[in-house]
Amino acid sequence: MEKSAQYSLVEDGAGGPRLMLSGTLTLAAIAPLERALHTMPGPIASIDLSGVEDIDTVGAWVVLQFARAHEAEITAASEAAQRLLGAVRGIEPGSEIHPPRLPAWERVPVKLGEKVYAARAGLYGVVGFFGQILIGAASLARNPARFPVKALVHQMELVGVTALPIIGLMSFLIGIVIAQQGAVQLEQFGAEALTVNLVGRITLRELGVLMTAIMVAGRSGSAFAAQLGTMKLTEEIDAMRTIGISPVEVLVIPRIMAATFMMILLGFYASVVAIVGGAVVGELALGIPFWTFLARIQEVVPTHDLWVGLIKAPVFGLIVALAGCYHGLQVRGNSEEVGRRTTMAVVSAIFAVIVLDAFFAVFFTEVGWG
């Protein structure tokens, strides 16, 4: 049988009726009673608890709030009920448990202002972060023995070697798509032989490095942010500082160097695999033999295309690593912040990479490497 709380009103003259409560006044059974009490009109002179079989702090709280609202007297409370009433009596009524929230017309300008201040603080933060890295690099240059070789090699493995399969697969597929789609369009001009130029130039100049940078941002930039952010939360970074180890030297610089250096290799590798993918399509769909395709690449792609890609790659790697490490070290507070900062690291890195890529495209064409 469900336990429940009952009530009845008894008229006995002076000051208003008496409220008789009975049954179970506990959390599990209180909801209907509380609703009824909420709408009950006054005045109520007293509340009689003689019929109450079971009561907990929730029951005591509801009774007490009702008594307060009607200035009613509580009578015939059992010993247990008195104890519980006593425990909650000292607490002022109120129901605010959410953080204070401004009305919308105030909140929008306040949020906007906060964003502007945050942007300024972010700018200071980035400049300060660059400064820290320069100082860290300089002090490592003065004490080469302190250089964290192991960490660097480990990061190079994580950023570079373990990324080979996924970047290889991605580039191979991109090579296939460019060759196949390009051939369909060029065929209309009877120029499907130019598919070789298309694949060779676009992968070496643009897509090999750009797609690799995006992939590294997703794989490693996010990992940097999450790792450093978690270390920040667990106070590992503070512990390092206390011992006198610079987190920039042992955590940030190896990651930045690893990403910068491995991006060159990964970008070149991606371009080569994409060309191979194009050559496979050439062999299977266009009637250009595989080795002829590769030999034609040498003839139609100018060397400066290779340089364009290889110059962009380390810059992109640097940006991805900087964004990851910077956002990781900005984490404070709670675990949600780690996720937020990781997202920011990836988004800002990819955005910066694409903006810079556009700049590079114009720049290299203007300087005659078109």
Partner 1 sequence: MSGSVSSPDDAPPIVVEGLGIRFGDFVVHENLDLTVRRGEILGVVGGSGSGKSVLMRAIIGLQRASEGRIDVLGHTITGVDLDRGIGVRRRWGVLFQGGALFSTLTVGENVEVALRKYYPDLSPELRQEIARYKVMLSGLPESAVTKYPSELSGGMKKRAGLARALALDPELLFLDEPTAGLDPIGAAAFDRLTRELKETLGLTVFLITHDLDTLYEICDRVAVIAEKRIIAVGTIPELIATGHPWIEEYFNGPRGRAARDSHARAKG
Chain contacts with partner 1 (rule: CB under 8 A): 2-3, 24, 26-32, 34-35, 38, 56-58, 61-62, 65, 80, 83-84, 86-88, 91-100, 333-336
Least distance in angstroms from the C-beta of 109 to partner 1: 23
Between the alpha carbon of residue 231 and those of residues 173, 178, 243, 258, 335, the distances in Å are 37, 42, 15, 20, 11
Least distance in angstroms from the C-beta of 185 to partner 1: 51
5, with CB counted inside 10 A (0-12, 13-18, 19+), is buried
Q: Which is nearer to partner 1, 87 or 127 (CB)?
A: 87
Q: Which is nearer to partner 1, 31 or 149 (CB)?
A: 31
Least distance in angstroms from the C-beta of 29 to partner 1: 7
DSSP state of 250: I
Torsions phi, psi for 37 (to 5 deg):
-65, -35
Question: DSSP characters for 103-120?
Answer: -HHHHHHHHHHHHHHHHH
Q: How far is residue 355's CA from residue 281's CA, in Å, rounded to a whole number?
A: 31
Least distance in angstroms from the C-beta of 135 to partner 1: 30
Q: Which is nearer to partner 1, 24 or 227 (CB)?
A: 24
Q: Which is nearer to partner 1, 93 or 370 (CB)?
A: 93
> How many CB atoms are closer than 10 A to CB 33?
21
Least distance in angstroms from the C-beta of 48 to partner 1: 22
Distance of CA 254 to the CA centre of its chain: 23
Residue 212: closest CA among 276, 268, 254: 268
Max CA distance (Å), the chain: 111
H or E element in which residue 149 lies: helix 149-159
Least distance in angstroms from the C-beta of 330 to partner 1: 15
Q: Which is nearer to partner 1, 40 or 306 (CB)?
A: 40
Tokens of 53: 């079989």
Q: Which is nearer to partner 1, 98 or 142 (CB)?
A: 98
Q: Which is nearer to partner 1, 100 or 144 (CB)?
A: 100
Q: How far is residue 112's CA from residue 258's CA, in Å, rounded to a whole number?
A: 38
Least distance in angstroms from the C-beta of 202 to partner 1: 45
Strands 73-75 and 46-55: parallel
Q: Which is nearer to partner 1, 32 or 128 (CB)?
A: 32
Q: Which residues pair with 17 in a beta bridge?
A: none
Least distance in angstroms from the C-beta of 37 to partner 1: 10
Q: How far is residue 13's CA from residue 16's CA, in Å, rounded to a whole number?
A: 6
H or E element in which residue 11 lies: none
